[in-house]
Every structure is written in C-alpha cells, then in structure tokens.
Amino acid sequence: MWGMKEFIVTIRTTIPQGTDPAEVDRRRAAEHERARELTASGHLFRLWRPVGETRSIGIWLAEDERDLRENVLGSLPLWPWMTAEVTELESHPNDPQRNQW
C-alpha cells in the first residue's frame, strides 16, 4: 500500500454496563469479519494482545491519522466502545526491512 503511513495503535475496549450480551456477541462477530476485510485491504498489518491483558496493539496503515480514525478504525463495530492511542511511525535508518533493498 504505497503512500500509506504506518501507525502503532493501542486499543482498549470497554463494554458499557447493562449492554445486552446478544448485542456484544453480534458486534464481536462483526468485528472479526471487519478485521479480516481491513487485513485484505492492507489497513490492518499486525495485531497483538499482551499476555494477560485485554488491550490490543497493532500496526495499521492509512493515508493519515484522520483517515485512520474516521474511515479505518471508525469502521469497526466495537469502535464506539473503544479508546485508541495512535502513534505515527517513520522508518528508522537501521530498520532491517529498509536495508533489504
């Protein structure tokens, strides 16, 4: 995805108290499908969950932070329940990927 910027995104999901469990299950299933679509389109590159934690840490690609928040992350079914810490990345001169060329 040439021209796309890379971001490290830490996401925490907090389900509002009193939410119908069926709604949570529906959104989680839709979230799984949307993550697959974002992977196929090149927006979701990698995703991890630290051991013993519920937050996720991922590498995401988008045109800019606004595009990332509004169109990429904002398309996730759980997004209304999420908080995200976004950090834009740039290549380091010693990045092994950069030096393969």
Q: What angle do CA 62, 99, 66 make, to 5 degrees?
A: 10
pLDDT at 3: 82
Please list the pLDDT of the chain residue by residue as tens digits (101 residues): 568 999 999 999 999 999 999 999 999 999 999 999 999 999 999 999 999 998 999 999 999 999 999 999 999 999 999 999 999 999 888 888 766 65
**Domain range enclosing 11:** 5-90
- Domain of residue 61, CATH code: 3.30.70.1060
Number of structural domains, the chain?
1
The C-alpha atoms of residue 43 and residue 59 are separated, in whole angstroms, by 9
Quote the pLDDT of residue 2.
65
Query: Which sign does the torsion angle of CA 13, 79, 39, 37 carry?
Result: positive
Task: Look up residue 12 and give its two tokens.
Answer: 């925490």
Domain for residue 21, yes or no?
A: yes
Domain for residue 12, yes or no?
yes
Please give the pLDDT value at position 91.
Answer: 86
